[in-house]
Amino acid sequence: QVRPVESGGGLVQAGGSLRLSCAASGSITSIGAMGWYRQAPGKQRELVAAISPGGSINSADSVKGRFIISRDNAKNMVYLQMNSLKPEDTAVYYCNWGRWRSGTYYPSNYWGQGTQVTVSS
């Protein structure tokens, strides 16, 4: 089964930037809405940002003005540009393919394996 595959995580100092990418593990015709989630140790997985097929965006208040989600429909990829990173952004970041309805993102069971982002102070 084709799944999302994340890349781009790593260790960065506070104030730095990282760009996460999410591709399909195999051939796929098209992908609908896509989202980035994160899960820090001891915390629940939370939505970071999501983007509809048409480019509408939802993002968490904690990342507004710092993180930018974008997509390349021709390549079936979604990106998360993370700027001004803070230690509290440290988490495993997951890509998800879901649905978009009335401005809300609904995740599916299509999850990637995650990529670790660690921000040092």
pLDDT tens track of the chain, all 121 residues?
889 999 999 999 999 999 999 999 888 888 899 999 999 999 999 999 999 999 999 999 999 999 999 999 999 999 999 999 999 999 999 999 999 999 999 999 999 999 999 999 9
Own/partner pairs for 103-107, CB < 8 Å, 24+ apart?
103/56, 103/58, 104/58, 105/33, 105/35, 105/47, 105/50, 105/52, 105/58, 106/33, 107/35, 107/37, 107/47
Q: How far is CA 96 from CA 2, 6, 11, 36, 75, in A?
A: 12, 10, 22, 6, 16
- According to DSSP, the residues that pair with 67 across neighbouring strands are 82
The residue to which tokens 């309805």 are assigned: 101
Q: pLDDT at position 72, please?
A: 94
